[in-house]
Structure 1
Amino acid sequence: MPAPQGARTRLKTAPPSRHRKLTALIAAGLTTIVGTATTAGATEAGNLKSEGSPGTPAATTEGHTGKADEGGHGKGNRKADHDGTGSRSGEGDKGRLDEYGGRHGDRDGTHVECDPNALVAALVGLNAKRGGELVLAKDCLYTLTANQDDNGLPEITQPITIHGNGATIQRAANGDDFRIFEVGVGGDLKLSHLTITRGKLGDGSEGGGIRVAAAGRLDLDHVTLDRNSTDLENSDGGAVYNEGITTIRHSTLNKNTSEDGAAVYNQEGKLEITDSKITGNINDPDDGYAALFNEGGTIKVKKSLLSYNYGNSGGALYNSSGVSEVEKSALTYNFGYYYGAIHSDDSLYVRDSTIAYNTATDGGGGSGLHWAAAFDRTKIYGNAVTNGSGGGANVSTDDDNPVVFRNSKIHDNQAPGNGQSGGGIYISDGTVNLTDTKVTGNISDEEAGGVHNEGTVTTNGKVRIIDNVPTNCQATGTNPVPNCFG
């Protein structure tokens, strides 16, 4: 198990043996990742309501108030779409339905016939005209075969909006390796109601589905990024590689693969995810980190589900450096060889969220915390570490960067491995502050089952550490836990 001791640099752990990896996968139930990730994640999000799960994705279209016509467009009054095309009222054009799924004149922009060459030509034209809007043919499958500079479509260098209309853009199965979109410096790409799939890049390239350059912008609304990939051993950002500003809402990132950041690798950029699902993404099992990877940027996740993701360290989120914030979200059934749901080496804030049923082999079933972190009104339960300590959380920081649990519940987590302790919280170094927090019903092989403290613990307000097995805190020692008995 690595011993970061508050290190802010990215850690690389020794690969587990084939036998230990197989054991870990079986323990985590990962045989269901590829085939059932989305369904299982959505089901578990619903089940978590009984535990008071504060955040599950509301995968519904906002702003539509009228009935839908044959083309899916609302009749009557309708609020402005997310893409800013404005509002309209009345019945609209009474003309015939066209291949774009709506009536003529329903949507501003250039209509693109169901032909990948027409899509390429349209994007070239908009770049030359300093931007514009495209409307894709309804439910069309645009299959790309040409590769130019690792891209299947022309690089986006101007403000361009694409209304997907239920269409899919994919790389041909027998084609060259290339990503689907690249947003260049100054580019501003908005995508809605679109699926992007099968983007693929080899060794040393980033962003299997979409790459966003520094000073580029990407906005995804009701977009699915599915089965995009980069080289599993030496490339990052299976679905999205972000160096600019990326906003993702009402979207799904599912079954993408890479070495690190199978869903999104955020490289000194700004990433915001709202009302979305990050499910079934897989990183390099020997040395890969998390569905969401933050390297020196900022990540904010709100009202979203991160479930059934797999990484060698931190299945759902790895905050290598920078600031990551999770709010009103659920992190469930993720797996990491080290640290099941979250691995953080820098500033982390989790609020009004649930971390449940995640699994690790070595250290921290729910999370591994190696820098300042705050958990506020958060529930951590049902997590397990099969051969390490800290079923709910494993803490190793320094005294200047404490970990805070406030108004939270840490219960029914396990560290059952031979000689392991800290079923609820294991503290090897640093300071943990408990404020108005309950640590109950946690289990470990050796004491303490509740809070195993080899650092410093402070308590404020109503703190209850009870009903843990074999003990609530250490019976003896020089690192007592205030207000903890037995």
Structure 2
Amino acid sequence: MYQQQNLRATPSPRGVRRPSRPGRLLSAAGLAVAAGLALPGPAAQAAATPSPTPTPVTSTVRCSVPDLVRAIQRANRTPGADTIRLARTCTYELVTADPDSPADGLPVITSEITIDGDGATIKRAASAPDFRILRVGPDTGALTLNRTTISGGRATDCPQFPGQGVCGGGIYSQGSLTVNHSRVVHNAAHTASADVFAEGGGIDSDGTATVNDSEISHNSATYSGPTPSSAEGGGIANDGTLTLNRTRVTDNSIAVTDGNDSFAFGSGHAAFGLTKIDHSTISGNRARAVGGTALGALATGDPLPGQETTLAVTDSTISGNTTSAPKGTALGGGLGTNFPVKLVRTRVVDNTATAPGGTARGGGIHIGRTGEVTLRESTVRGNTAHAPGGTARGGGMSNATGGTARTYRSHITQNTAEAPDGGTSQGGGVFSAVGSTTLAKGSVTGNRAADGGGIFEASGTVTLNGTPVRDNHPDNCAPAGSVPGCTG
């Protein structure tokens, strides 16, 4: 049942998250204004001299870890914005954690700091104890990272949710984070502790984040504990607002303990907040949950209280990703969602949802019970739902539990639902049940399944508005007469 994929509705630790900032001061101020009262304050100073604007400070750091540590400490103490320029192409190899924050390799960023790497790398030494590379603190923490590689970090905690998770192997941010022309590679968030989730192998942002012209690759989030839990966001996870521009999220992975009903969620990117992705690529990411549930290379999940999850993807590509759940449930090889998603001029191509002996739904896209997916001028092509000896539904797109799908000038073509070894395969192009699917001014062509090569409508409604369904194998729509306007 897709209700189980709403991770924070399950007994997982994410279900008990709470906002971290009390509103007592704001409430007091609001009450004072409403009552016509003034909060206590200093005497009037009409002629007070304004404070001078702090002068930005720029420091150049030699190829030395101690010098880099001192530069960050100095910048944290200095009012205003500071820039730290690293030695060109230097590798700053961290062998010990920061003594004041043992989960982090460098001092926590607590002020406005820009790090200009000029091709430099900051990495954890292979022989060092586990720690992430960088953490941006809440409220006043603001980091801009330019032309820098972050590598080898291994998260051991999750400061916003202590004891509940392990977050942000490379970078963890509770404040403001901007990443430009940089690489976040070969970092990990891993836990073997019962009931603890692993999240954001490369980057985990609970604040506001923007990633421009960067690469997030070969990161991982894994859970190997004995009880049901989850691994989320092999490359990126965000609970706050995130914008991704001209960025590659590639070859990241997530995995969970075999056979204990755990969730592997968002192998490339797990979005739990407002997310915008433009001119970017999410490709080659892998999720694995043997006997559990694996969901999407790009996946949306339940937001924090008072926030919302929506996802907008424009002029981007979601390709070559694999969601695998042998003897379990694999949902959405490319995209899996239970929240509003809009794809514009985006290609969802050559993704796979595979579940030998289990259930595979949505080789390209899976829409959950409360999901809403809109495709405009987009393509869903060459995706596969694969379930030997099991059930495969919706090679291109599955709307199987009551969601809403709308497409406009979009094409669903050459997708496959297959279940060899005596399994059941339905809806090579589209599988629909319970919910509503409307296809306008596009096409459903060249798809394959054992039944309903183009569209299989188990229940709910499928509406065709100027959308031909043709050249699918062995038939265009099933059961016969279920989709008005579809023949053959």
| TM-score bracket for this pair, using the shorter chain length | 0.7 to 0.9
Q: Which residue of 1 aligns with 2:203?
A: 240
Q: Which residue of 2 aligns with 1:158?
A: 111
1:336 aligns with 2:290: no
Any unmatched runs of 5+ in structure 1?
14-106
* CA-atom RMSD in angstroms: 2.0
Shift of 1:211: 0.7
Shift of 1:8: 4.8
CA contact (8 A) 1:351 1:377 kept: yes
1:126 aligns with 2:75: yes
1:451 aligns with 2:455: yes
Q: Per residue, is there more strand in 1 or in 2?
A: 2
Structure 1: which amino acid aligns with 2:198?
A: S
1:301-380 pair list within 5 angstroms: 301-312=277-288, 313-321=294-302, 322-337=309-324, 338=330, 339-361=332-354, 362-370=360-368, 371-380=371-380
1:408 aligns with 2:410: yes
Structure 2: which amino acid aligns with 1:278?
A: V
Name the stretch that deviates more: 325-334 or 233-242.
233-242
Q: 1:281 aligned to 252, 259, 273, which one?
A: 252
SS of 2:72's equivalent? helix
CA contact (8 A) 1:9 1:345 kept: no
Structure 2: which amino acid aligns with 1:456?
A: G
Change (3 A) 1:250 1:5: same
1:39-438 pair list within 5 angstroms: 109-130=58-79, 131-148=81-98, 149=101, 150-185=103-138, 186-202=140-156, 204-213=165-174, 216-231=175-190, 234-258=197-221, 259-267=231-239, 269-286=240-257, 287-290=263-266, 291-295=268-272, 297-312=273-288, 313-321=294-302, 322-337=309-324, 338=330, 339-361=332-354, 362-370=360-368, 371-387=371-387, 388-398=392-402, 401-417=403-419, 418-438=423-443
CA contact (8 A) 1:6 1:345 kept: no
Equivalenced residue count is 382
CA contact (8 A) 1:208 1:238 kept: yes
Structure 1: which amino acid aligns with 2:406?
A: V
Indicate the structure whose relative CO is greater, using CA pairs within 8 Å and at least 6 residues apart: 1
Structure 2: which amino acid aligns with 1:162?
A: I
CA contact (8 A) 2:166 2:191 kept: no
CA contact (8 A) 2:379 2:412 kept: yes
Change (3 A) 1:246 1:358: same
Change (3 A) 1:176 1:408: same
Q: Which residue of 2 aligns with 1:65?
A: none
Shift of 1:232: 5.5
Q: Which residue of 1 aligns with 2:475?
A: 471
Change (3 A) 1:11 1:466: farther
In structure 1, what is the Cα distance between the partners aligned to 2:393 and 2:166? 37
In structure 1, what is the Cα distance between the partners aligned to 2:216 and 2:282? 10
CA contact (8 A) 1:190 1:219 kept: yes
SS of 2:190's equivalent? coil
Structure 2: which amino acid aligns with 1:444?
A: A
CA contact (8 A) 1:434 1:457 kept: no
In structure 2, what is the Cα distance between the partners aligned to 1:273 and 1:440? 32
SS of 2:70's equivalent? helix
TM-score by length of 1: 0.75
The runs of at least 4 aligned residues of structure 1 exceeding 6 Å deviation read none
